[in-house]
Chain A
Amino acid sequence: MKNVLEDIIEPPLDRTIANRNMDVRVQDIPGWGMDADPDNDPTYPMKRSNGADHERLNYVKAPQQRRDMEVLRSIERPNITRVFGTSTPPSGLSGIIRRYAYKFSEATATHWMTLILADRVDVIQGKINDLKNGILPNPWVERGWKAEWKHNRPAFVTRMTVTALVITAGILLLTRKSRTKQIVNS
């Protein structure tokens, strides 16, 4: 594997370098800070300044949540976050896909598109698990169709009818093609 810059630098250095610059380098840089304007900060007053933005290394960190399951970590940070979600630990094929996604940073399409794929796979895994446990899909309850029936009945009925027609047409088309193929082959 080639030696990349990310592997060469050693954090934490940012504040050390910035503070050193402000002590030493600014003397070499003509006009350093002369146009600084505390009022020219578009993030305020949305974010109320306490003047300690750069003391970020010194804040008291929250206690680490106990980890008793696999937690995926972004490569943009050295450790897992202090608190993390436990609702959907990686498992099965979806988990394999998610582990792959976390090899890439959030700046990559691969990260997000792979996670979306993993999410879709997880839905199918969930349905299979439901069936294994004797739970049948119930869209009437799970997809809020009951509310649609009550509050939006004409549109709901139209949509369901169109969907049923499209599915029926699709099935008929596929079966006709296979019948034609059989006739040609015979």
Chain B
Amino acid sequence: MAFSGYAHTGGGYDGGQGEYVRVPYADVSPTKIPEGMDIEDAVLLTDVVPTGYQAAEQAGIQKGDTVVVFGAGPIGIMAARCAWLFGAGRVIIIDHIDYRLEFAKKYSYCEAYNFKEMNDPVVFVKKLTDWYGADVCIDAVGCEAVGHGLQDITGRMLLQAGSATAFHWAVNSVKKGGIVSIIGVYGPPWNLAPLGSIMNKGITIRANQASVKRLLPKLIDHVMSGRLNPKGLISHRIPLEEVSDAYRMFSKKLDNIIKPLLIPPRAAYAA
């Protein structure tokens, strides 16, 4: 496996947060920004939009489905927004950060709930879905999840690759025969996963990195037609030189941050 921007564990390829980037396979991978597209929309089309869209796409959402998204980060919010494009009947997002839930409610037209106000998120989702479970659950959190003591401790002790709490909740909250879509990032080694529940409930798991290039034509159309508004996710515009602050703000959820945009010096001068 190899990914850009994932340090040495992902193959040691540079990421794209710089003034200049070296683009491997540049004869096929870049896409020309269409005339009239806002540059900030274009930036988010490189990652957040396709990733969120693919979370919904690979979830196999059928018309009228109840979709539960775990994680109200930018990807989870975009996944919730895109679930409607696939005909969801109900979209529910679950997180523990109130300001993000409030944002998701408006941006993604969805129901939003704080799992810190629940005894057990799985029982909550079951009750919310007439005790059957959601048709589809999307794990938009990945290995940095909080909310489950055993997962937290084993993750911190490096007994597993982070914490698989959101995945655990997704598997247990989805209906029998339902689909769990994983778009949250997990590390390569291993995680505590409820394989018995997956097998016994007949759950289908779909997971992938975003197929950005494949999805771009369709997503560009959605953006240009006003069906998706990526720019609306941007809460902060931060100079590239202050990238460490941006990461700190994002990881600590400071100043009601949703999605920071890094501005390279040359872009700032041009503006």
By a beta-carbon cutoff of 8 Å, the part of chain A in contact with chain B is 4-6, 9, 11-15, 17-19, 21-22, 25-26, 28-38, 40-43, 46-47, 53-54, 56-57, 75-78, 104-109
Tell me whether B113 is interfacial, beta carbon within 8 Å.
yes
Are the C-beta atoms of A105 and B89 separated by less than 8 Å? no
What is the distance, in angstroms, from A100's C-beta to the closest C-beta of chain B? Answer: 15
> Which of B10-18, B79-87, B231-239 interfaces with chain A?
B79-87
Are the C-beta atoms of B109 and A107 separated by less than 8 Å? no
> Which of B39-47, B122-130, B249-257 interfaces with chain A?
B122-130
Are the C-beta atoms of B126 and A76 separated by less than 8 Å? yes
Q: Give every chain B residue within 8 A of A19 (Cβ-Cβ).
A: 64, 89
Are the C-beta atoms of A18 and B130 separated by less than 8 Å? no
Tell me whether B159 is interfacial, beta carbon within 8 Å.
no
Tier of interface size on chain B:
35 or more
Q: Give A36 to B50 CA distance when docked, in angstroms.
A: 16
Q: Give A31 to B222 CA distance when docked, in angstroms.
A: 8
Are the C-beta atoms of A9 and B172 separated by less than 8 Å? no
* Contact among B89, B129, B130 for A21, CB-based, below 8 A: B89
Are the C-beta atoms of A5 and B124 separated by less than 8 Å? yes
* Chain A, Cβ-Cβ closest to B226: A30
Instruction: Give the contacts of B216-236 with A (CB-CB under 8 A).
Output: 218, 222, 225-228
Tell me whether B31 is interfacial, beta carbon within 8 Å.
no
Knowing A5-B113, A107-B122, the reply to whether A33 touches B66 (Cβ < 8 A) is: no
Q: 25 interchain pairs (CB within 8 A)?
A: A9-B128, A12-B131, A13-B128, A14-B129, A18-B64, A18-B66, A21-B89, A22-B63, A35-B85, A35-B87, A35-B218, A36-B61, A36-B62, A38-B62, A42-B179, A43-B204, A46-B202, A53-B135, A76-B123, A76-B131, A105-B120, A105-B172, A107-B120, A107-B121, A107-B122
